[in-house]
Amino acid sequence: MLAKTESVALVGTSGHLVSVEVYVAGGGIPTFRIVGLPAASVREADQRIKSALEASDLHWPGSRIIANLAPGNLRKEGSHFDLALALGILAGAEKIEAERLEGWMIVGELALDGSVRPVRGVLAAAMAAKKHGRKGIICPGDNAPEAAIVEGLKVVPVDNLRRAITFLEGGWDPPAVLPAPEPPLVTEDMAEVKGHPEAKKAAEIACAGGHNLLMIGPPGSGKSMIARRLPGILPAMSMQESLDVTSVYSVAGLLGNKAGLTRRRPFRSPHQGVSLAGLIGGGSGLPRPGEVSLSHYGVLFLDEISLFRSDVLDSLRGPLEEGRVRIARSGAMVEYPCRFSLVAAMNPCPCGYFGDPVRECRCSAARLRYYNDKLSGPLIDRFDIQAMMARPTRAELMSREPSEPSSAIRSRVEAAREVQSERYGSPLISNSSCSKAELERHVRLTQEAGSLLGALIDALGLTGRGVDRIKRLARTVADLDGSSSVEEDHVGIASGHRYLEAEAVPA
């Protein structure tokens, strides 16, 4: 007998419907074969299903069984097909009515004792079920709050195979499943940072316009401290941003059990030894999202950026420009979103004390050249803001006067983002990510501002990208200032944040 049900194949952050067709023959040599371009993790399902059926007091049909996962040209990977295959086999063997499987999306990994384990990508599966008008989704109980994020879709949480069968037979009506509440947001406050008013202002501008920020200073000057407080001054995510971020973490398997919609902006800080695949994405089988995608709509912080491999750093250039990363494999082409703000910190030299008024730099000229060559010119050019940070003074460190809290800075950042949302017609677009045409249409330079920009082109030898970056940064400064036009002061502030003085950086 032929039985049909449905599951999902994950391609990037999208779920593609997979028709699970199971044919249980009346005779022949007992065999079980899965076709339809299955990966090894799918082909191993027979052993898990056999043991789960026996543990659930059910019997494996002593017949020839063929399972087809359609469409056949789409690679299937993952253990989440187990539950759909098991129920299809039972329907094909006439242990349950095949008609009861119609209209249900089914995902879940079977343990040998018949329990149903959580899987990755349930949010993508639920969104695909809703998009194609299915009744609902049958999924592991631990993944149910994740699936419940999709409104208007019935979610059936099952903890074991027997529970799924009981539901399909009409013997159990599952309770309503609600999305998991977001835990209280606890962030470090910018008021804890002593001194550094210029660096704090640079961080505010970076968050207001979604710009990339490079901080250069001696050890202990507060670079990492400021970076880790950026989530506290970023605006709250919109619903669409939350869905996009949650989808990435769901596909990566990092959402956690019984988790719901992610409301916090990501902050990722990979180790200096991260591989190319770890940063950009990849791995065996279908590529997984890397740190750039896990930072989507958030912050990717590279501490001691000069210690990262040069090829790993240069691989950031494309994702920074396009806001997405494409990973090609023999089986598929996968695309992940990666619209993030790159924040980096580095010492001015290998020993960390170049230009320090108290401690003497011990680095030779050759070491300085090698150190600076670790960051390519094109990558440095993509840091809209480059801030020098000196060690805080004694007065700043001993001061008892409270610094400006993150809440005050965030209110100005949110106001600037609201202006940009109205300007570009979407809360997902900022000054750093808008198109070239939109930038030219909305950056209205006064005559004095245009003259200053022209002088900067001659004095600094700006490239087209350099001019573009200064315009974007000046537009953000103007937004924070509440100005509809870009004034001379705005261009001056933008150029001051964008280019370091020659004597501040080792030659």
pLDDT at 300: 96
- Asked if residue 116 lies in contact with residue 140, where contact means CB atoms within 8 angstroms, the answer is yes
Q: Are strands 64-70 and 14-24 parallel, antiparallel or unpaired?
A: antiparallel
Q: Residue 505's pLDDT is what?
A: 36
* CA distance linking residue 73 with residue 493, whole number of Å: 55
pLDDT in the model for residue 464:
83
What are the tens digits of pLDDT across the range 211-253?
999 999 888 888 999 999 999 999 988 888 999 999 999 998 8
User: Which pLDDT tens digit goes with each residue over 79-136?
Assistant: 999 999 999 999 988 888 889 999 999 999 999 999 999 999 999 999 999 999 999 9
**pLDDT for the residue numbered 500:** 47
The average pLDDT across 43-63 equals 89
DSSP one-letter code for 119 = -
pLDDT digits (tens, 9 = 90+) for 443-477: 889 999 999 999 888 887 778 888 888 999 999 99
Residues 6+ apart with CB under 8 A from 119: 78, 79, 80, 107, 108, 109, 139, 140, 143
- Residue-wise pLDDT for 169-221, tens only, equals 988 899 888 887 776 666 788 988 888 888 999 999 999 999 999 999 888 88
Q: In whole angstroms, how far apart are CA 480 and each of 417, 440, 443, 450?
A: 9, 19, 14, 20
For residues 1 and 93, what is the distance between their CA atoms, to the nearest angstrom?
7
CA distance 73 to 37: 7
Three-state DSSP string of 411-450: HHHHHHHHHHHHHHCCCCCCCCCCCHHHHHHHCCECHHHH
Strand partners, 4: 21
Of the segments 37-41, 255-259, 479-483, 498-502, which one has the largest average pLDDT value?
479-483
Q: Round to whole Å and give the CA distance between 55 and 429.
A: 53
Q: 287, 13 in Cβ contact below 8 A?
A: no
> Is residue 82 classed as helix, strand or coil in its secondary structure?
helix
Name the residue type at position 220: G
**DSSP letter for each residue of 28-39:** SS-EEEEESSB-
Which two tokens mark 218? 């001696």
Distance CA 164, CA 314 (A): 49
By residue count, the chain amounts to 507
Question: For the packed helices 45-55 and 82-92, what is the interaxial angle rounded to 10 degrees?
Answer: 60
Single pTM value for the model: 0.86
What domains can be seen in the chain, in order of their start residue? 2-168 (3.30.230.10), 190-428 (3.40.50.300)
In this prediction, residues 257-276 reach a mean pLDDT of: 88
